[in-house]
Structure 1
Amino acid sequence: MGGPPFWPLFLFKLRWDDRPAPSVPLQGAIWIAAALALLVPPTRWLQEAAPERAICAWSFALAVAGIALSLMALAGGTSWLRWFSFPLAFILTAVPWPHSMELMLSNSLMHGTAGATVEILCLIGIPALQAGNLVHIETGVIDIDEACSGIRSLQAMVMLSLFLGELFRLKPARRLWLMVAGLAVTILANVIRTVVLASLGAHQGMNAVDRYHDTAGLCVLVVSLSVTLLIAYRLRSSKAPMLAPQSLPLRWALPVPWCTALLVWFLATEIAVETWYQAHEPKWQGWSWAIQWPKQDKQFQFLDIPARSKRLLMCDESQAATWRDADGGFWSLYLIRWNPGNLQAESAKVHRPDVCLNAEGAVMEHDFGTHVSTVGAMPIPFHSYSFRMGEDRLYVFFCLREEQPGEIAGTAIPEFEGTGMFQRALRGRRHVGEQSLEIAMSGYRSEQSAQEAFQARLGQLLKVRADAAARAGR
């Protein structure tokens, strides 16, 4: 999540203009600032290796906010520490939420939005049926994705409500009420959006859904922000008289020597971190394997991945195809890649079969765990599942492969905040690429028959780069 970078500075300026008189400086605050400053180099070192990890961003932001608060305590004691705590802590609203938290909220919002949409459509006379995060209408299927569910709108609304609460100097209870009201307005607006899109799809065809999708999203944003601003304006109380600004020499008010030392420390940290990675980072040699599409098979066809889905995935490359195998089984293959340096690569860990297929109405019957398949001399781990989707049983094989320059690492079910970032940093590896491979098969009697067919065909579908296979074999 992002936000206007000047918002915290603006709020700090508002507080500075009517700041209270400083109390006795807290001399011990400098030791807290020094301790937090010592955390900055290792945090930046890890963040450079894994910029997509929320834990790195949060650690760095908390350290910076803590240092700023310590300087305020050193300059103006507890009086300034309390007074400036909100604008300095406000920078935390710009830090991305942990992916596990986003995933939980997204799933709940998508399922809830789909359910509410179906209920409203039925009330207004449009037949609809919910299947996971899908809304089935007579003319087609509407997928309630993360964008439609409003997760990004909720993140923006948290930031906006906190900003407006401070701007209008609302009391704590009113600030909380403003946030709750803003979140409720956002959720309601997104439900109305999906109802309108579904209604258009039912009367004008599914092309109308794609045609008005982005416009409806913009309307939700404008309406949500406008209503929240109106609520904040109505909640404001009569303006309290501002305290007269204290005309203190800036050299006394702010601990300039300590500020200068910290700036030098931050600069030295950036230079040291960049030097470390420049000295260890090898040249990117490309992906370790590629897909050999079976264009000669029956009913082979490439699938068009909608632009909306690509924006949701935030990937650099996506390909998909379906075909019927010689034994009569129906196969689907999806390849998605996030190039090295793409900070959205962490989203690859969210788009997994146990998440996405469940969202489409499939029911997971079995999780068969991870097994390793060898292609050429390269071991590739796959996680396999079986799903029930209507009358069909799907056998799904999934691998998410993390590739770094000069390194190969694959895992079928990666951890969100694991120890991989320490290993990357120690080896001086950054700009990690991710590629996701998912193969879904139907028409097989059992997991064993599907597994046998998968193992027999995998070597024909994947072409491993020779030098990558050699490194993997060592």
Structure 2
Amino acid sequence: MRQGEDKTRTAGVAGAAQSGASTKWAGAAPWVVVAAFWLLLFVRLTTTWRASVEQAHGWAVPGLLVYFIWERLRRGARPGLVSPGGRIAAGAGVAVGMAVMCAVLPWFEANRMWPAAQWVFTAGVAVASTGVLAWVGGWRWSANFFFPWFFATTALLWPTMVQTPLMNALAQGNAQATAELVSLTGHPAVARGNIIEVGAGFVGVEEACSGLRSLQAVWMLAWLLGELAFLRWSRRVGLVALAVAIAVLTNLARTVFLTWRVAGEGLGAIERWHDLAGGIEMVVTLAAVAAVAYGFARGEKTPAPILAPPRPVWRGRSAVVLLGICGLAEGGTRAWFAWHHEEGGRQWALASAVPGWPSAPIPERTQEILHASSADGRTWERSGDDRRGLAYVFRWENDTAVAMEARRHDPTVCMPGLGAELEAELAPVVVETGGETVPFRAYRFRAEGTTQHVFFCVWDVFESRVAPIEVENEVAFSYRWARVREGRSRADLAQIIFVLQGEPSDAAACAWLRRQVGVLLRRK
């Protein structure tokens, strides 16, 4: 009799332990699935955060997202019973969200810095996550997490249709206001688009107005402070609007200061004052936004925490199925791109020991702007000759995101910022070297009374051909699809630049290019 009781007790203990483990998994299952959804997004966004200083705040977003979810579990609505109709709607949300994620994932992998892919994939993740939580706790409870999902968008690039006109308008307005204010100090200044001209030279928007690009960080900070202070929505929107205004005004002050110093000290003042002015601007902006948030938070009531945070449960089999779908989508995508990884061509480099072409250091500021993975530089001059030459090869061999700079920075963008005026775009110059036909775009500039010929090529190493640099090719659907179809997740680009200064003849400059390319340019 006692032996039978012992067996019954042992079976009961084992069953209780198994039931406890099952209950713990059922409680954790929905959050494991939601975490898997967001992990697929954040793993790819790290490329953008690493490539762009303006997006570096994105590294803080995943941790803040977890914190916001925990706080809303502690202080928000409790999960409720889910009706059959609500469960069907939640299941449909999960299906739609995951379908979007699976469809967009290859595009996102191939084009990680494409804002459209980032936003559509994030929308799919948010819809699928909301569906999972509505399935286990009802729609009212799942709505409690809308703000964390929205906050995640602060880590994304703004859509091009928003960012480009906004940045252009702000930069031009900044330049116009700066020119007027600096002129009032006794230093005549004229705004020419995004460039400010003073007596000492030109101050480019990339140098003086780059703080405008920090708007996204201020945008994120304002929403963060509004959530931490438990502000009502009207006050949160007001805080964000004031934060943006503060960022624009502090950047204007920084631009005025830098331009004023250039007018008084010369172009070298940019290097001396750029970092200090940027640091002061950042501190003042953050302090002002924090002060506004503190003022808005006075009188706001903090929601009382729930003594025992709710733990909704979910059938483990459903979680396993969704995790399996995520794993298949991720594994299939990575396998496709890994299969094509080694199909690309060979990179370009400058020969290391060529008489008359000593090594030239790459300016640190140039490296910061271009984010090239490696680069070569050479200089050329001849005794008794006023002509001077430069040759550069910048290589992007890793992330697609940073290689976007290879397409954005061509001579028509960079040279005016250095005070050079474009006189003519010449016919392309085609050079045969290293078994390849390399077409160079040719430009003639004038700076301080001296003629400068600039020859420029962006080379697609994967395809072993010249890469398109026009904006329309960069955003075209066909270009994005080609990267997916070819399994291209790496950059595989090279920017080849030759500059000849002091040669008035276009024909002589082109002949010089053909000779020097044959001597210098090599395949790695």
TM-score, length basis structure 2: 0.73
Letter in 2 for 1:312: I
Residue 191 of structure 1 corresponds to 252
Equivalent positions of 1:233-272 (< 5 A) are: 233-236=294-297, 238-240=299-301, 242=303, 245=306, 250-252=311-313, 257-272=317-332
Cα distance 1:393–1:262, how it changes in 2: closer, same or farther (>3 A)?
A: farther
1:453 aligns with 2:511: yes
Letter in 2 for 1:344: V
Residue 464 of structure 2 corresponds to 408
Alpha-carbon displacement from aligned partner over 1:185-221 (angstroms, at most 9, x marks no partner):
1122223223334455566676664344323222211
Q: Percent identity?
A: 27
Letter in 1 for 2:237: L
Question: CA separation in 2, counterparts of 1:379 and 1:246?
Answer: 72
Contact 1:20–1:243, Cα closer than 8 Å, also in 2: no
Residue 472 of structure 1 corresponds to none
Contact 1:113–1:144, Cα closer than 8 Å, also in 2: no
Residue 434 of structure 1 corresponds to 493
Question: CA separation in 2, counterparts of 1:170 and 1:235?
Answer: 7
Equivalent positions of 1:58-137 (< 5 A) are: 58-98=119-159, 102=163, 104-128=165-189, 130=191, 133-135=194-196
1:145 counterpart SS class: helix
Question: CA separation in 1, counterparts of 2:500 and 2:508?
Answer: 7
Question: CA separation in 2, counterparts of 1:372 and 1:29?
Answer: 60
Cα distance 1:173–1:242, how it changes in 2: closer, same or farther (>3 A)?
A: closer
Equivalent positions of 1:71-470 (< 5 A) are: 71-98=132-159, 102=163, 104-128=165-189, 130=191, 133-135=194-196, 142-145=203-206, 148-200=209-261, 209-236=270-297, 238-240=299-301, 242=303, 245=306, 250-252=311-313, 257-282=317-342, 286-288=346-348, 290=350, 296=356, 304-320=361-377, 323=380, 331-341=389-399, 343-362=401-420, 364=422, 373-387=431-445, 395-404=453-462, 407-413=463-469, 415-418=473-476, 419-441=478-500, 449=507, 452-453=510-511, 456-457=514-515, 459-460=517-518, 462-465=520-523
Q: CA deviation at 1:455?
A: 6.4
Q: CA deviation at 1:224?
A: 0.8
Question: CA separation in 2, counterparts of 1:355 and 1:178?
Answer: 36
Q: CA deviation at 1:227?
A: 0.6
Residue 30 of structure 2 corresponds to none
- Structure 1 unaligned regions, length at least 5: 469-474
Alpha-carbon displacement from aligned partner over 1:311-333 (angstroms, at most 9, x marks no partner):
12222334555656999876554
1:188 counterpart SS class: helix
Alpha-carbon displacement from aligned partner over 1:418-441 (angstroms, at most 9, x marks no partner):
434433443434333221123445
Contact 2:500–2:509, Cα closer than 8 Å, also in 1: no
Letter in 2 for 1:40: M
**How many residues of Structure 1 are paired with residues of Structure 2 in the alignment?**
459
Residue 471 of structure 1 corresponds to none
Q: CA deviation at 1:416?
A: 2.2
Question: CA separation in 2, counterparts of 1:241 and 1:160?
Answer: 20
Higher helix share: 2
1:29 aligns with 2:90: yes
Alpha-carbon displacement from aligned partner over 1:236-274 (angstroms, at most 9, x marks no partner):
36334737749686244x676544433332233333333
Question: CA separation in 2, counterparts of 1:240 and 1:110?
Answer: 40
Cα distance 1:125–1:15, how it changes in 2: closer, same or farther (>3 A)?
A: same
Larger radius of gyration: 2
- 160-169 or 16-25, larger mean C-alpha shift: 16-25
Q: Cα RMSD (Å) of the superposition? A: 3.9
Contact 1:51–1:57, Cα closer than 8 Å, also in 2: yes
- 235-244 or 70-79, larger mean C-alpha shift: 235-244
Letter in 2 for 1:457: R
Residue 18 of structure 2 corresponds to none
Cα distance 1:205–1:439, how it changes in 2: closer, same or farther (>3 A)?
A: closer
